[in-house]
A = this chain, B = another copy of it.
Amino acid sequence: MLMQIREATEADVEAIWPIFHEIVAAGETYAYPQNTSKEEANRLWMQGPRKTYVAEQERQILGTYFIKTNQAGGGSHVCNCGYMVSSKARGQGLATSMCEHSQRVAVELGYKAMQFNFVVASNEGALGLWTKLGFETVGRLPRAFNHPRLGYVDALVMYKWLEP
């Protein structure tokens, strides 16, 4: 079962939506409104970013990520990415594959560093994974995320310089 990561097209919107919706409606990991509509999701995930990718296996889309410039002007050498994996495919290394892929894409696009602006501290899976992949926790925003079960929790800023 070969996993392929390729750039998303308009035709993938329908397959991305259930993954996005499942994660965002839970409200535990992304700073998007839990009731984000499909149209807004499309704007946030497909239209706003510089590029969007999907991870598919046997023509089934199981994960997706975007890459965009994090700050303009003097900050434009740093990119930002967001990753989502379907609950059907958790624990199979998809996030790792997508993050490694995104770092190669970032370098190809000319970025020198990658920043995650808002990793919810209670999202230990993501935190552990990004750390393993070389991201450093460079900031901690006290009580910056209102978690639906846990209340106010910290959010972390993670960063990796991509050039040798």
Contact = CB atoms under 8 A, between A and B. Distances in A.
Give chain A's interface residue range (CB within 8 Å of chain B). 35 or more
B75 A144 contact: yes
A146 B30 contact: no
A109 interface: no
Interface in A134-164: 138-148, 155, 157, 159, 161
A145 B71 CA distance: 9
Given A115-B144, A117-B117, A157-B157, A74 B27 contact: yes
Interface of A: 24, 27-28, 30-34, 36, 71-78, 112-113, 115, 117-118, 120, 138-148, 155, 157, 159, 161
